[in-house]
């Protein structure tokens, strides 16, 4: 099946620094990827839609200057948390939809393993 990989799986950074999380589709191309945030014991909240070759679309209430998203290729999207603070500590998960599935009328959406960010 399709695989979406995230890196790093866990990262600890100092307050005020920036950290980058990568999301890769390993065996398919994805023109669109999504970034979610999950607080402990809560559901997933969509942060933004990452569009290959264009600007990301952010959900209401998500600071685009703080959560920088870059989707430079059909298999890679990155989320950079800039000037991180302890309240940014969370579980960040990306998802991707195989372009080949869409072309065939399917609609599978796969998630990465998630990245735990701890800001100290």
Work out how close the CB of 16 gets to other proteins at its nearest, in angstroms, rounded to a whole number: 26
Binding mask 61-90 for other proteins (x = CB under 8 A): ------------------------------
Q: Is 117 in the site for other proteins (CB under 8 A)?
A: no
Q: Which is nearer to other proteins, 43 or 104 (CB)?
A: 43
Q: Is 97 in the site for other proteins (CB under 8 A)?
A: yes
> In the set 20, 49, 82, 100, which binds other proteins (CB under 8 A)?
49
Alpha-carbon distance of 13 to 15, in angstroms, equals: 7
Q: Which is nearer to other proteins, 35 or 81 (CB)?
A: 35
- Residue 71 CA, chain-centre distance (Å), reads 10
Interacting residues toward other proteins by CB under 8 A:
6, 32, 34, 42-44, 46, 49, 93, 95, 97, 107-114, 116
């Amino acid at each position: 099946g399709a695989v979406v990989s995230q890196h790093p799986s866990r990262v600890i950074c100092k307050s005020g620094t920036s950290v980058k999380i990568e999301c890769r589709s390993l065996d398919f191309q994805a023109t669109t990827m999504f970034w979610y945030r999950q607080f402990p014991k809560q559901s997933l909240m969509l942060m933004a839609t990452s569009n290959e070759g264009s600007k990301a679309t952010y959900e209401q209430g998500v600071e685009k200057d703080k959560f920088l998203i870059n989707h430079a290729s059909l298999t890679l999207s990155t989320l950079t948390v800039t000037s991180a603070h302890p309240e940014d500590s969370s579980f960040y998960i990306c998802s991707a939809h195989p372009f080949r599935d869409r072309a065939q009328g399917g609609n599978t959406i796969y998630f990465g393993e998630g990245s735990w960010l701890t800001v100290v």
